[in-house]
Amino acid sequence: MGKKMFSESALERMEKEYKEWLEVYKKALQRIPERLERFSTVSDMEVKALYTPLDLKDKDYFEEIGFPGMYPFTRGVQPSMYRARLWTMRMFAGLGTAEDTNKRFHYLVNHGETGLSTAFDFPTLMGYDTDSPLAKGECGKCGVAIDTIQDMEILFKGLNLEELTTSMTINPPASVIWAMYIANAENQGFDRKKLGGTIQNDCLKEFIAQKTLMLPPEPSLRLVVDTVEFGTYEVPRWNTISISGYHIREAGATAVQELAFTIYDGITYVEECIKRGLDVDAFAGRLSFFWNSHIDFFEEIAKMRASRRMWARIMKERFKAKKPRSMLMRFHTQTAGCSLTAQEPYNNIIRTTTEALAAILGGTQSLHTNSLDEVYMIPSEEAVTIALRTQQILADEVGVANIIDPLAGSYFVEALTDKMEEEAMAYIKKLDELGGMIEAIEKDYPQMEIADSAYKFQQQVEKGEKIIIGINKFPSPKPDLEILKIDPEIEKRQIERTQRFKEKRDKVKLQKCMDELRRRCEGPPCWENNVMPALIDAVKAGATEQEICDLYRDVFGIYTDPGTF
Amino acid sequence: MGSDRKLRVLIAKPGLDGHDRGARVIARAFRDAGFEVIYTGCHQTPEQIVSTALQEDVDLIGLSILSGAHMYSFPRIMELLKEHNAEDIVVIGGGIFPTEDIPKLKEIGIKEIFEPGTLLEDIIQWVKTNVKPRGAAEAA
């Protein structure tokens, strides 16, 4: 009893007075009824009118909430949080050619951004060079086109890669792009042991939501484990997987589904790395996470707080991790693209600000804030500046970064945090019963759960049960916004550059590297067959992204979207 | 009578983008509205899309794209339909399009473009008004 937050006598009085209030409340509703028949979060989780200590009557502060930087990390992963160091302001950027994106990187750093984040174009994301017939019309549209180590060199020109950390959103070809990054950094005189950053490298959520598809699940996981293993020994400051809920949420998942499926992906990666023979405490500290911060303010804060506690418990209890570092969940957050509207786009600044505030109160380690025009296109310089300034205002003016986890102890936030964990754990149990994530993916389970939620949300919007200002309340036409345009001519220039690069290579040396890579891919997964050293040699010898991915596709097979709905 | 049969609709995702939320939502909405729906899944080439449309004998193709590559894939699809004498298949698009591209897409024969924020109900209504089963005109 001594560990409970409220004494028996206090709770007794609370119970009595709560009932009295309930009567008063009901009477008030007779005069003015509530605005809605049912109040729920954007994920449709029902919320009550009032939360009190009664909602926390069984809560054990020490076991469930604790202190910042200490197990179970509900209140944050660092003891000092933002009082010592603010979150990393990391704007996802990529457009046109490597030159264009390098210019944007410098612009953002000069305006106070503190970490880099790279968006690649679709051909790069899917393992195709710009000269592939499948890449037609896509070059530089949704990110930067990277075919070779030469592009990588241009992309990071003039940026100190031992000081700035770099995040790269790349999944099936993550090993290839990471090899290009390491190889280029070494060519520039940087030490791979000092390189810091993140590759997203989360293949499981591709099958579930993002649909950047290349190889079947099993070999995809093998490559992920290769990168974790290599990072553990060779690039110790690198986050080798960014286990991502963002895309799961954007595809229509609820907050609970985002939490559950993402954490289960994390469980799967840990299991696979242990199977390879890695000690959990040797690699778990380099796993990081990536959450979506959607429009429902408290739901997001509760989700983030619950995620830290869940991961800590899973790492300790399920995987017997011993180091606290293995149990603490560090995460990046991006505000929700799917919450933005093309109609009245300036309203998106308000949405993004609210979502960014939730991410900060949720204790994020880094943050991307969407630009007001991202419903239309890659952001213009003006729009991205407002988005970056949003973070800086929240950091330096608003005062929210001065107190650690200020919402702890809120009856509502704690109760919602518990509910998030409880419902997500039910999904985790279900996934265990299905035989794990790969089996679940093959059964189309998480995919269809998300499709159900997406459809349900859209129907709620159509019925006016969920409101989007400018869409189903105060509807407004889409204005003609001044947007950034990607010159279609860059495709031709990029193809020419890649072809010139290919002509200059030492073909014998390149072939030797590719043969060694193939030998490793065809061999059983183990350190001796880890693809990373061979990849670094291959890209230094001039192998293009697609040449390596074609080799992967040849050895491991191809996975295509089953197209269910 | 030809127009008694259910409308057959192909929802297709041309190009390399994986943003399939809209495609899957509209596929379900069309199914619930009583249409026969075939969905290609992501990453389809124009050739694959047209071949599926012909094989499945559809009345309508709904192209969903959010990558910005529509000015390549949409004209190519229209060209291929023409080559196969299947210009009577109605083609519509959904996703993100710069405003100035919309008249260009309509000029090449895309019947309607549905932009972000469009309600499903409005799209279904548009289809019911504007699309008849192929061959229905001759049969009537």
3-state secondary structure at position A60: strand
- Establish whether the linkage from the previous residue to B75 is cis, with ω within 30° of 0: no
* Closest approach of B85 to chain A, Cα-based (Å): 25
Please determine, for residue A1, whether its predicted confidence score (pLDDT) is greater than 70. Answer: no
Q: According to the model, what pLDDT value does residue A264 have?
A: 98
d(CA A72, CA A75): 8
* Cα separation values, A354 from A367, A465, A470, A486, A505, Å: 13, 21, 17, 30, 51
A–B interface: beta-carbon pairs under 8 A: 116
Q: Mutation test of the interface with chain A: which of B20, B32, B80, B123, choosing the one with the most A Cβ atoms within 10 A?
A: B20
The pLDDT tens digits of the residues spanning A58-103 come to: 999 999 999 999 999 999 999 999 999 999 999 999 999 999 999 9
A471 touches chain B (CB under 8 A): yes
The percent helix, strand, coil of chain B (3-state, each to 5) is 45, 20, 40
Q: What is the ipTM of this complex?
A: 0.95
Give this prediction's pTM.
Answer: 0.97
Name the CATH architecture for the domain at B2-134.
3-Layer(aba) Sandwich (3.40)
- Cβ atoms within 10 Å, residue A344: 17
Q: Which among A172, A171, A181, A115 has a CA at the least distance from the CA of A146?
A: A181
The pLDDT tens digits of the residues spanning A535-547 come to: 999 999 999 999 9
Q: According to the model, what pLDDT value does residue A482 have?
A: 86
Q: According to the model, what pLDDT value does residue A367 have?
A: 98
Mean pLDDT of A309-336: 98
Distance linking the first and last C-alpha atoms of chain B: 7
Q: Which residues of B touch A560 (CB under 8 A)?
A: 41, 43
d(CA A331, CA B105): 42
The tokens 């469930």 sit on which residue?
A64
A122 touches chain B (CB under 8 A): yes
Average pLDDT score over chain A: 97
What the block records as the tokens of A546 is: 């697609």
Distance linking the first and last C-alpha atoms of chain A: 50
Q: According to the model, what pLDDT value does residue A117 have?
A: 96
* Cα separation values, A39 from A34, A45, A184, A387, Å: 9, 8, 53, 30
3-state secondary structure at position B132: coil
* Closest approach of A363 to chain B, Cα-based (Å): 28
Q: Is A343 within 8 Å of B17 when comparing Cβ atoms?
A: no
The number of helix segments (H) and strand segments (E) in chain A equals: 21, 9
Percentage above 90 pLDDT, chain A: 98
User: pLDDT-based confidence at A3, cuts 50/70/90?
Assistant: confident
Domain residue ranges of chain B, discontinuous segments joined by +: 2-134
Q: According to the model, what pLDDT value does residue B103 have?
A: 97
d(CA A125, CA B16): 9
The domains found in chain A, sorted by start residue, are 1-78+215-486 (3.20.20.240), 495-556 (no CATH)
Please determine, for residue A197, whether its predicted confidence score (pLDDT) is greater than 60. Answer: yes
Q: Is B21 within 8 Å of A213 when comparing Cβ atoms?
A: no
Mean pLDDT of A446-469: 98
Q: According to the model, what pLDDT value does residue B136 have?
A: 65
Q: According to the model, what pLDDT value does residue A490 have?
A: 96
CB A372 within 8 A of CB A403: no
Q: Which residue of A has its CA nearest to B29?
A: A455
Please determine, for residue A107, whether its predicted confidence score (pLDDT) is greater than 90. Answer: yes
Gyration radius from chain B CA atoms:
14
Q: According to the model, what pLDDT value does residue A2 have?
A: 58
The tokens 């994986």 sit on which residue?
B18
3-state secondary structure at position B10: strand
Please determine, for residue B1, whether its predicted confidence score (pLDDT) is greater than 60. Answer: no
Beta-carbon contacts of A497 under 8 Å, excluding residues fewer than 6 positions away, are: A147, A150, A151
The pLDDT tens digits of the residues spanning A128-176 come to: 999 999 999 999 999 999 999 999 999 999 999 999 999 999 999 999 9
Q: Is A473 exposed, middle or buried (0-12, 13-18, 19+ CB in 10 A)?
A: exposed
A70 touches chain B (CB under 8 A): no
Mean pLDDT of B98-117: 96
